[in-house]
A = this chain, B = another copy of it.
Amino acid sequence: MKTAERILVTSLDLFNHHGENNVSSVDIALELDISPGNLYYHFKGKEVIVAALFDLYKSQMDKVLSAGTSKPLSIEDFFYFLYLIIEQGQLFQFFFHNPSDLFDKYSGIAKPFKIQLITLEKCIENLLNEFKTKKIFAASNAQILQIVELVGLVFTQSANYYSMKGQAVDDENYLYKSLASVLFAVLPYINIEPGELHQLQEAIATQSLVGELGDVAE
């Protein structure tokens, strides 16, 4: 792996684990066994690193989003879609730890990041409206917006919430708990045999989701 790439991978890892704020350029260099000077040769400061990581995040998230909107989804597909989104977010956790500070320090990413988030939410809103058209989902526009906002809240802030409560939620459990919260909010508005979806909820709650949904997705 080239040095530049190693720097990105290591930075992402350190940022995710300790918070961007608590990782200095020297820390990154130290972790990589290179000199601070060398680090600066490749990236002129953390600003550039963060920007590069954002580009990576955006490109990966865009891939997921377009996969979710290219063809009609079933409700089950929809939750697998959400699963993929949450997973991507988790890979770039550090962006969500303290966005206001981050945007202050690196003002370049503020706008694009917000746009990305709004795109994501718009995308979910569209999917819900499709379900509504297909009569498998019944909610007013206001309710749909509420759901979208809740999904956004869960997607961007659940990790902060759990870490704040001091519950050491590991990466896997975190995904299921987030999904369960979303499902819980959506469930009352879904129009199919109750048994069928409570099964899904059960699956998520007991964290056997992959077995249940894994094949649906391919």
What is the interface of chain A, defined by CB distance below 8 A to chain B?
19, 21-22, 96-101, 104, 110, 114, 117-118, 142-143, 146, 149-150, 152-154, 156-158, 160-161, 163-166, 180-181, 184-185, 188, 205
Contacts and interface: CB of A to CB of B under 8 A. Distances in A.
6 contacts: A19-B101, A97-B98, A146-B184, A150-B181, A153-B157, A188-B188
Given A152-B165, A156-B164, A181 B146 contact: yes
B114 A149 contact: no
Mostly helix, strand, loop or mixed at chain A's interface?
Answer: helix
A22 B21 CA distance: 11
Given A19-B98, A156-B161, 11 more contacts: A97-B98, A98-B98, A99-B160, A100-B164, A110-B166, A146-B180, A146-B181, A152-B161, A153-B157, A160-B160, A188-B188
Contact of A104 (B22, B100, B152, B154): B22
Given A98-B97, A101-B21, A117 B164 contact: yes
A139 to B, nearest CB: 11
A114 B163 CA distance: 10
A99 B164 contact: yes
Nearest to A155: B161
B97 A166 contact: no
Contacts of A117: 164-165
A100 B163 contact: yes
Given A157-B153, A158-B153, A181-B149, A99 B143 contact: no
Nearest to A153: B161
Given A99-B163, A160-B160, A164-B117, A185 B150 contact: yes
A143 B70 CA distance: 34
A100 B160 CA distance: 8
Nearest to A21: B101
A166 B114 contact: yes
Nearest to A177: B149
A210 B130 CA distance: 37
